[in-house]
Structure 1
Amino acid sequence: MSTLEIKDLHVSIDTEQGTKEILKGVTLTIKTGETHAIMGPNGSGKSTLASTIAGHPRYNVTSGSILLDGEDVLEMGVDERARAGLFLAMQYPVEVPGVTMTNFLRTAKTAIDGEAPSLRHWTKDVKAAMENLKIDADFANRNVNEGFSGGEKKRVEILQMELFKPKFAVLDETDSGLDVDALKVVSDGVNRAAEQNEMGTLLITHYTRILRYIKPDFVHVFVDGRIAEQGGPELADQLEDEGYDRFLVKA
């Protein structure tokens, strides 16, 4: 079992108006095999947490720590974090012109594992994963995300997650922009990875609809850069009924 520990994390960004603190003391522990849902209103710091875990240079950690099995994640480069077992499914996946899906996936897998996968087994794995996610086989020869719809980009993010087999996956609003059918396909992919690889999942979302398919063990409510409340899956149902008003009054 692996553990991702976030301890009293404070994060700021530089703006034209000066330094702005976004995360104001976040403490959270995730173990492999667990699914944690982070919910909250816009601007509460959810995506900032995801980007900070992944190592986005825009976000400055002013205090606190992130540890992966006791190792200091904040001392690692982005590539080192990926090799250590961290994966971020981006809210807005970027296009990579000139790089085919086939080349990208195998190059990334080689970089993460430190050796190239067996071509025979790798081809079989990619084909199976694409079929499971209902991604057309022709996409393997297209440039990464170029001309893809929003839903197709989100499926490709989950394709990477299934193939790279991380210890922990951070899913930053992966459900945004998905219709009902695509949401079910993407959720099935997350559940497969969690079950097959004992992956820990940090699922960031505004809405409870994805939680109908990906059942969280824990729900954390983010408000104004802090965890305002946490509980089990019943907390998501309460948020569906009541919204975030009571937290915003407190904030």
Structure 2
Amino acid sequence: MSILEIKDLHATVETPEGTKEILKGVDLTIKGGETHAIMGPNGSGKSTLAYSIAGHPKYEITGGSVMLDGEDVLEMSVDERARAGLFLAMQYPVEVPGVTVSNFLRTAKTAVSGQAPALRTWVKDVKSAMADLKMDEAFADRNVNEGFSGGEKKRHEILQMELLKPSIAILDETDSGLDVDALRIVSEGVNRAKANTDLGVMLITHYTRILNYIKPDFVHVFVDGRVAEQGGPELAERLEAEGYERFLAGAE
């Protein structure tokens, strides 16, 4: 069972106004099998946390540590982080013209696993996962995210997660732009991945609606670059009723 340990993490980003500190001392531990919902207002640093863990070059880590099963994540390249078991479902997946979904998935699986999957088994696994996500088989021949709807992009992210089988998955606003049916299908994909492995999930979201489908073990309120409060599922219910006003007032 994997453990992701984030301790006193600080990160900055360059802006037209100069260097700006976004993460201001984040402490968070996610264990395999757990789901942690990260909630907070716009601009609080939730996505910065996700991209900092994944290794996005835009963000500079200025303090703290990120450890995965005792290994220093911050010393790893982006591909090493993926091979170590980290996965990021992006809020805005990018288009990759000229690369089909089927080629992308098999290449990614080979890179993460260190060897190419057996073709017959792999084709069966891909078709099964696509069927579960209500994706037409013709989808595999399309270019990655090119011309995809918002819902198709998010299903493709979850398809990757199910096939790559990471130990820790960071889902950055996977629910944004989804209608009710797509939200349910995507959520079922996350729940399947959790049921079949000891997957640990960091679920970043503004809204509680996805938490009706993916039940969190812990809820963390993210304000001004740090965790302002944490609790169980009942905290999400309180946020739904009250919003973030009491946290924002304290941050000013």
TM superposition score category, shorter chain reference: over 0.9
Query: CA shift at 1:55, angstroms?
Result: 0.4
Counterpart for residue 196 of structure 2: 196
Deviation (angstroms), 1:14? 1.0
The 2-side partners of 1:194 and 1:46 are apart by 22
Deviations 1:78-122 (A, max 9, x none): 000000000000000010000001110000000000000010100
Question: Is 2:33 aligned against 1:33?
Answer: yes
Paired position in structure 1 for 2:149: 149
Question: Which aligned segments of 4 or more residues in structure 1 are displaced greater than 3 angstroms?
Answer: none
| Structure 1 position 223, deviation (Å) | 0.5
Distance in 1 separating the partners of 2:81 and 2:17: 31
Could you tell me how far apart the structure 2 residues matched to 1:90 and 1:107 are? 19
> Deviations for 1:205-228, whole angstroms, at most 9, x for unmatched residues?
000000000000000000000101
Give the whole-Å Cα distance in 2 for the aligned partners of 1:17 and 1:169. Answer: 33
Partner of 1:12: 12
Partner in structure 2 of residue 187 of structure 1: 187
Output the CA distance in 1 between the equivalents of 2:202 and 2:15: 28
Q: CA deviation at 1:128?
A: 0.3
Give the match for residue 160 of structure 1.
160
CA deviation map 1:155-204 (0-9, x unaligned)? 00000000000000000000000000000000000000011011000000
CA distance in 1, matches of 2:19, 2:147: 36
Take 2:211 and 2:16, find their aligned partners in 1: how far apart are those partners? 37
Q: What is the CA–CA distance in structure 2 between the aligned matches of 1:240 and 1:33, rounded to whole Å? A: 25
Letter matched to residue 194 of structure 1 = K
Distance in 2, Cα, partners of 1:107 & 1:147: 21
Which blocks of at least 5 consecutive residues in structure 1 are unaligned? none
User: Structure 2 matches for 1:234-249, cutoff 5 A?
Assistant: 234-249=234-249
Instruction: Tell me the equivalent position of 2:117.
Output: 117
Q: CA deviation at 1:17?
A: 1.1
Matched, 1:126 2:126: yes
- The residue type equivalent to 1:169 in the other structure is A
Once residues 185 and 72 of structure 1 are traced to their aligned partners in structure 2, the CA distance between those partners, rounded to angstroms, is 35
Tell me the equivalent position of 1:208.
208
For the residue of structure 2 that corresponds to 1:43, the secondary structure is coil
Distance 2:4 2:227 in 1: 17
* Residue of structure 1 equivalent to 2:106: 106
Deviations 1:45-75 (A, max 9, x none): 0000000011000000000000001100000
Give percent identity, aligned residues only: 77
TM-score w.r.t. structure 1 length?
A: 1.00
The residue identity in structure 2 corresponding to 1:114 is: G
Counterpart secondary structure, 1:36: strand
Q: 2:220 aligns to what SS in structure 1?
A: strand
Distance in 2, Cα, partners of 1:48 & 1:194: 24
Q: Secondary structure at the match of 1:37?
A: strand
RMSD: 0.4
* Amino acid paired to 1:208: T
Distance in structure 1 (CA, Å) of the matches to 2:215 and 2:222: 19
Deviations 1:1-29 (Å, cap 9, x if unpaired)? 11000000000001121110000000000
Tell me the secondary structure at the aligned position of residue 33 of structure 1.
coil
Letter in 2 for 1:163: L
- Using the alignment, how far apart are the partners of 2:99 and 2:212 within structure 1? 35
Q: 1:36-51 maps to which residues of 2 (within 5 A)?
A: 36-51=36-51
* Distance in structure 2 (CA, Å) of the matches to 1:184 and 1:104: 25
Q: Determine the structure 2 residue equivalent to 1:86.
A: 86
Once residues 208 and 142 of structure 2 are traced to their aligned partners in structure 1, the CA distance between those partners, rounded to angstroms, is: 33
Offset, 1:144:
0.4
